[in-house]
Structure 1
């Protein structure tokens, strides 16, 4: 069984809701630019998929398409904020999953999470392959327990891959009561820009 077949089987048997956006065109250009091959889970995902949507909440970034950004486009954008974090996934509330490429001395090569409720990077201690397995087989509800509200699915299902949910008061603020907060669908780049602006203002992650 090929690596891609193994991944497909894991997604199909997942206890979490997973929607696979298969790439309409498969070329090696994207993975060659990144420096990976289809022998790795990262290369296999990028080569075969535009995106992977988990629980209508986490978006694993693949090669993208003409309408939606792919992994190269997003990282080209994100480099103006972070040069040593390679983004591999996002979530609808502005969280970012990225491979530490030297921003932090510890857990280099592991997946870290920029949490929208703290605006701080935290190591998940996962290799990329373990991260994908966790999304398919892990307890996503537990991880996001404090950042979800009653009936969150009713809004999340309407969020496009390149959008996010702006929550106000902000998730990191003392005033936040998640159930009562205002929630608005916005372009994901706008959500990133807001979070990174406050990270800079507050001197977080320096």
Structure 2
């Protein structure tokens, strides 16, 4: 088995400025994911699927999907054959990261659905570049406006299938200061659905 990609991922995780936890992989689901996605362990995505059930980054603020587990879906669960879109991770506020082609025939790039803008943003990074950045410290600046004092303890206490619902929502003027918003743990699937439905209503 070619371990070059996995070795690079481990090196990036070791350089992290915050906690990074590799979850145990599910071998059967990993093999199925690789086959369904048509990728190998030599790619960064393939290495994450093969060697982890997922990766919890920065006290669990970001959950990068791998072969899945009891509380995390595998990376192929929400694949969209029509757009070839692949959800590769989500954050504690219900934001989603997806790996999709930016233009027909173009290399895939990572896009982010932000709970504070209710829109997709092309991060203009491939999977390996995105994962390397989040493992080595980019989350601190990326989420600077969406964090509140003591968030580390609050987030670390959550289950992997949970997120934090804030009210008013962060997409409203009143909800932009999450330190003063009402916050509670809810199922992640419910939280993601809430933000996407809100986006539809406002579009």
TM-score between both structures, scaled by the size of structure 1: 0.87
The alpha carbon displacement at 1:67 in A equals: 4.6
Q: Secondary structure at the match of 1:186?
A: strand
Paired residue for 2:40, among 5, 19, 37?
Answer: 37
1:198–1:100 distance in 2 versus 1, CA, 3 Å: same
- Number of residue pairs matched? 198
Deviation by residue 1:133-167 (Cα, 9 ceiling, x = unmatched): 00111332111011000111121001222111001
Farther-moved stretch of structure 1 (16-25 vs 36-45): 16-25
**Unaligned runs of at least 5 residues, structure 2:** none
Residue 66 of structure 1: how far off its partner (Å): 4.2
**Counterparts of 1:87-166 in structure 2 under 5 Å?**
87-101=87-101, 109-166=108-165
Please say if residues 88 and 97 of structure 2, whose CA atoms lie closer than 8 Å, have aligned partners that are also in contact.
yes
Output one character per residue of 1:91-127: Cα deviation in whole Å (capped at 9) or x when no partner. Answer: 001110101246x669750001101100011111111
Q: Which residue is equivalent to 1:25?
A: 27
Cα distance, 1:5 vs structure 2: 2.2
Is the Cα contact below 8 Å between 2:71 and 2:161 reproduced in 1? Answer: no
5+ unaligned residues in a row in structure 1: which ranges? none
Distance 1:5 1:84, change over 3 A: closer
For 1:162 and 1:106, the matched residues in 2 are separated by 34
- Conserved? CA contact 2:54–2:72, under 8 Å: no
CA distance in 2, matches of 1:130, 1:197: 30
Out of 45, 54, 58, the residue aligned to residue 55 of structure 1 is 58
TM-aligned CA deviation for residue 12 of structure 1? 2.4
RMSD: 2.2
Any conservation in 2 of the 1:30–1:72 contact (CA below 8 Å)?
yes
Superposition deviation, residue 13 in structure 1: 3.1
The residue aligned with 1:5 is 7
